[in-house]
Chains A and B, each alone.
Chain A
Amino acid sequence: MGKIRKLAIANRGEVAVRIIRACQDMGIETVLLHSDVDAETLAYRLADERMAIGPAPVGESYLNIARNIDAAKAAGADAIHPGFGFLSENDDFAEACEKARMIFVGPSPESIRLFGDKISAKKLVESVRVPIVPGYNGDDQNESRLLAEIERIGLPCIVKAAGGGGGRGLRVVRDMAGAKEAIESARREAKSAFNSEKLFVEKYLDRAKHIEFQIFGDSSGRVHSLFERECSVQRRHQKIIEEATAARLPEPLREKMAKAAVLIASEAKYRGAGTIEFLVQGEDFYFMEMNTRLQVEHPVTEEVLGLDLVKAQILTADGSAVLWAGEELKPRGHAIECRIYAEDPDRGGVPSTGMLHYLSWPHGPGRRFEFGFESGDAVTPYYDPMIAKVIVWDENRPRAIRKMRETLSECVIFGVKTNIPFLQTILRHSEFVDGTMTTQFIEKHFKNGMPPRESPEDIETVAEMLLKSPAAEEASSHPSPWAGVRER
């Protein structure tokens, strides 16, 4: 207890900042393990110490176990937080941390292995009688076998990287003619993202909601349900908008699902933060997968319950108790998160990279901004396109939607294009507003991305005026006493 004095962060961007903030609150020193190109980021500036672990490509830095371990040891860290993505669900990494006598902030390597392997995960889930989506996850990975399984399960199917998550290496098969290409392309993506070509096939539920339960195993071994989040708004299986609690979930179903989630995690003797993802269609729910890490969308849970999951993770890893473990938790109000992606909404969402010349977040009550960049930093093509998360809380869902629209309209990002206009379009959509959206929402209503934007005629007048005025005024309009003071 109280063993953790210096914590290394094996991640980047907004989650690295999130972990540093939690450590600052707890009086723990931080060491950021970063790639060479990530020196110009907020986490780099906030961390107490920094260790470069290699060049930009993830295989030579953020996914390289030895380099992360060596750097953390050299810095004298006694714990490592993996964040999400990268090595967060890598059992070898968790094991390597233990071998190097550092605390891995997360579940045991055994838990990661158990849920990371879709076959053993489904076996465990079936053993506690929680329903799963029909599928194939055998070792025979021959193309002909996969094709036969697709026919057996019935169309539509999804082909998915067995090592995966985050929508990578995942393809929907709607007709047998496209099945071969889907398998090939899922394999390539799986190989490059997770270094494993193994795929599994699953029935595609086409009017289901994505509802996941945050669970938490405390240091005494008790598993808590921290209620659900809904993440039905997804594009190419990448989440865009998440909320807590779910938009429309009948109370009896919520209770049944919470019970199932706790049962699964308890059976695995799970420790720390984890998420059990379900698909809900009608009155039925199916186990999809368990993520053995902190989720990107954890802030919405924190907002409705008033707790700090990263702090809870660190306390639990350290063998200490979390204070809310003895309370009866009850969600209050509604929270929504929008993921801000660097992409061009007018061109079907292709990635947009470049210098973030200017950033401004409209702070206010019930508004929270998680970001990893400041004005002057660059968005590089090497990593995930998510550059920030905007989270709002209000008394109920309609008010939270309203607050989100207001907040997004005052977020100013100059330098790279973002999906904010697309988010606004979704937030105004009747199906989102009434809460009936399914995982098909984007494909159904925005198959080709956002509809063309109508900009006001006034914009031309403004642009003409600004273009005519001399450029010299640009820099001098807001003289800052700190200009040039900040060291990089």
Chain B
Amino acid sequence: MRELRLEINGRVHRVRSLRTSEGLWLHFDGETYFLSAANSTKAKRRADRSRGPGAMTGHESGNCIVAPMPGKVKKVNVKVGDMVQAEQILIVMEAMKMEYNLAASRSGRVKEVNAQEGSQVELDRVLIELEAVEP
């Protein structure tokens, strides 16, 4: 942990920071921020921070439903070839004794299912892949 006093535009700020392999932790003006090492350019960081919370839709990288935390797959509601609607609940996960619903961020067809009921999955594992369907 590092503590410094920085003067920015005439104001002195007390900053505490810590660099880890994952990125940079900052405590600044009464709030804690984490800047991921993976997103090291300014523009990317800004985009990352302004992203809305999104109700448990995994971090929807377009077609993929991704595990938003490490946990256990409790229920898989779809199989390959199924048509799904946006916001339809595809997977129920359990972590820290609570259930979380993972919903489709868009409509489409299920291209791949990478999750088995009862299995333990790590953070960011792609659980379901969707493909767009031509209207």
Contacts and interface: CB of A to CB of B under 8 A. Distances in A.
A177 interface: no
A358 B18 contact: yes
A343 to B, nearest CB: 9
Interface stretch (A31-39, A146-154, A243-251, A472-480): A472-480
Contacts of A381: 69-71, 95-96
Contact of B19 (A193, A385, A447, A471): A471
A168 B8 CA distance: 47
B15 A462 contact: yes
Nearest to B75: A188
A54 interface: no
Interface in A443-465: 447-453, 455-456, 458-465
Tell me whether chain B's interface is mostly helix, strand or loop, or mixed: strand
Nearest to B95: A351
A74 interface: no
Contact of A467 (B3, B24, B69, B100): B24
Contacts of B71: 351, 381
B48 to A, nearest CB: 8
Contacts of B20: 357, 414-415
Contacts of B13: 458, 462
B69 A353 contact: yes
A164 to B, nearest CB: 11
Interface in B54-101: 54-56, 59, 68-71, 74-75, 92, 94-100
Interface string B26-67: 111111111100001010011001111111100100000000
Given A168-B97, A452-B51, A466-B26, A474 B69 contact: no
A385 B96 contact: yes
A331 interface: no
B132 interface: no
B33 to A, nearest CB: 6
A449 B55 contact: yes
B97 A455 contact: no
A421 B33 CA distance: 10
Tell me whether chain A's interface is mostly helix, strand or loop, or mixed: mixed
Contact of B56 (A192, A348, A447, A461): A348
A414 B69 contact: no
Contacts of A350: 56, 68-69, 95, 100
Given A185-B92, A189-B99, A465 B6 contact: yes
Contacts of A473: 2
A474 B26 contact: no
Given A168-B97, A412-B16, A467-B40, A456 B29 contact: yes
Contact of B1 (A414, A453, A459, A465): A414
B25 A448 contact: no
Contacts of A464: 42
A383 B15 contact: no
Contact of A474 (B18, B31, B32, B40): B18
A236 B56 CA distance: 13
Contacts of A478: 1-3
Contacts of B28: 456, 458-459, 462
Nearest to B123: A353
A410 B32 CA distance: 9
B35 A412 contact: no
Contacts of B35: 463
B17 interface: yes
Contacts of A167: 98
Contacts of B54: 347-348, 448
B33 A455 contact: yes
A234 interface: no
B53 to A, nearest CB: 4
A409 B15 contact: no
A463 B23 CA distance: 11
A417 interface: yes
A477 B95 contact: no
A348 B32 contact: no
Contact of A357 (B25, B27, B29, B68): B25
B53 A450 contact: yes
Interface of A: 167-168, 185, 188-189, 192-193, 236, 238, 345-353, 357-358, 360, 381-385, 409-410, 412-415, 417-418, 420-421, 424, 447-453, 455-456, 458-467, 471, 473-474, 477-478
30 contacts: A185-B99, A347-B54, A348-B53, A350-B68, A352-B69, A357-B20, A358-B16, A358-B18, A381-B69, A385-B98, A414-B25, A417-B34, A418-B32, A450-B53, A452-B53, A453-B31, A453-B49, A456-B29, A458-B28, A458-B29, A460-B45, A461-B8, A462-B8, A464-B42, A465-B6, A466-B2, A466-B15, A466-B19, A467-B40, A478-B1
